[in-house]
Chains A and B, each alone.
Chain A
C-alpha cells in the first residue's frame, strides 16, 4: 500500500516535470494527454485508497529520512486516514476536471504546456500537503502550493495587473506563512518533534497543556494554535489577509476554479481540522477562529453584492463560504467544516467553470452589465450554473443546503465566547449569499441581452471539453450532500482522524434531535426540520428579492445604492483594506528599501565591503605572484628558508 500512496503524488510530479522540461518536444497534445492520464490514474488510486481507508486500514509512517539535524529527524512521511483520503479524492477529482476544461479554455495559448506543468505541480503539492504526517512536509508542501499559485496567478505575465495580483498573493501569504512557521517552531520547541502523532500524543498530557510562556500568562497551546491559524488565515483568505483572493482572478479561469474553489484555499481549513487535537486544547484560539470566520463570512458576502465582474462575484462568494468553514472549525465542528469544504469544492468549481464558459462565449468579457439573456444561447451552462447557485444558496436537496445548515446548526450549539455573534452573522450571511448568487444568475442568463451587436452574433454554447466537466461537477453538487450527511452527523465520516473534546462536541448535541433515524428518513427529517427554521426562509427571501431587483424592477438596485449613503462606496472599496495596506505597509516599505539599497547596499556593502575586499585581494595577488621568479635557485632558496623557519619555530617551542 505504501507504494500506492507514493505513486499518487509522484505521478503528478513526474508529469509536471515531463511537461515542464520537455514541453516543446511533446507539444500541446502530448502535454494534455500525459497530464490528464497522470491525474486520472491518481484519482483512481485515490479512490482505491479511500475505499481501503473506509475499510479500516489507516497508515502513519515515514517513507524517507531526508536528514537528521540536532536529533530531530526530517522526514517525508504519510498519514493516510479518513480525512486525508477524502481530501486526496477531492483534490484529484477537481484537478482532473480542471485539466480537461483547460483543453478548451486555453486552446491556442502560447503557454499551454507551461500551464499544464503548473497545475500538475500544484496537484502534487496539494497531495503532499494533505498526505503529510509531519509539520516539515506540511510546511514544504504549503510553500510549494503558494509558489505554484504565484506562478499561476501571473500566468499571463505580460499583464501589469496579473503581476501585481500575484505579487500581492505572494506577499499576503508570506505574512500568514510567517505565523505558520513560528507556530511550527513553537511546536518543535515544546514537543521536540515534528511528527503529528508524537505532537498529538504530547498535547494530551496536562503538563504540556498548562505550560505557560514567559511573556504574559499565555498558554503554549494557545500561542501555537493562534500562530498556526495565522498561516491558515493567509492560505484560506480570512480577514484581514483576504485581499489577494479577489485579485487572483487575474489568472486563467481554470485556476480560479482550481485554486480558489477547491484546493489551495481549503489548505488552511484542512490544516486546522488536522490539528484538531491541538485546537481542542485552547478555547481562546477556538473563539478567535470562530469570530474571524463569521466576520469573513458576512463582510465578504456583502462586498459580493456590489461586484459586476462575474468572476469577482464568485470569488467573494468563495471568501464568504471559507468564512463559514472557518466558523465551523471554531465551533469544533471539524467534520462539518470539511463536509462543507467538500460540497463547496464541487459547486464552487462548477460556478467558476460556468463563469468561464460564459466568458469564453462573451469573448473574454467579464462585466455582467454587458451580459443578459444567455439562457437561450447556452442552455447547458445555464442549467449547471443554476445547480451551482441553488447549492450555494442552500436550497434542499442540493449539496450546499446540507453542509451550510450543518455549519449554522453547529455554531448555534456552540457555547464558546462569541458564538452568539457568529450565529447572527452567519444567519444574515445566508440571506446575502442567496441574493448575490441569484443576482449573478439573473443578470447573466435572464432578461434581454446587453451585449454589443458584434459579440452577440458570435455567441454560442461552449465546446464539449468545457461543458462536460461542468456536467460532471453538477452531479456531485446535487448529490454529495445527501450521500455524506449521515456519516458526517454520526461521526463515522472521519473516525479517529479528528479529535473533539466532549464538551465541545456540538455536532453530537445537534445529532440528538435526530436520534434513531437513519437513511432516507434522516434526510427527510432534516429537510423537514429545516423548512421550519430560519436559514431556509432567509435563503428563499434572498432569491425572491434578487428576482425582484434584477428581473422585475431593475431600477431598484441603483436607487438602493444611492440611498445607502456611505455604505455603498465602502463596499465598493472593500472596507479600505487595500488602501490601508498600500499606504501603511507597502509604500513606506518600498521607500525604506530604496533608501537601504542606495546607501547601505550599493554604498557600503558593494562599494566598501565587496568590491573593496576584491580590490585588496587582487592587489595582494599581484604583489605575491612576483615571488614566483621562475629561477630554480630562488625556489630552492625558498625551500631552505621554509625549512629554517620551521626548525627555528620548533626549536623554540
Chain B
C-alpha cells in the first residue's frame, strides 16, 4: 500500500537534492560582491523606501493575473494533450470552446490596453 507512494517520496528527495545542489554550487563558485541595490528585497521596479504596506502599481496585478490565467490554461492543456486520442473529436472541440473563452478575454484585455506597460 505504502509502496505506491514511493515514487512520490523519491520525487521529493530528488527535488530537494537538486535545489540544495544548485544553491550550494552557486554559493561556492559565484563571485560575492554585495551592494545596496543587490540586498534590497526587490531588484526591479522601484526602491523600497517605505514600509511594506504601500501602494503598488496596479499593473503588477494585471500582469500577475494574466500570468495565472494562462498558466492554468497550460496546466489544463497537458493532461488534455495526453489523452487526446482517447477522447476524440468531442474532447478536441470541448477544449476549443475553453480556449475560445480565454481568447475573448485576451482580446478584451489587449484592446483595453492592459498589456501596455506605459
- Chains A and B in contact, CB within 8 Å: no
Taking beta carbons and an 8 Å cutoff, which residues of A are in contact with B? none
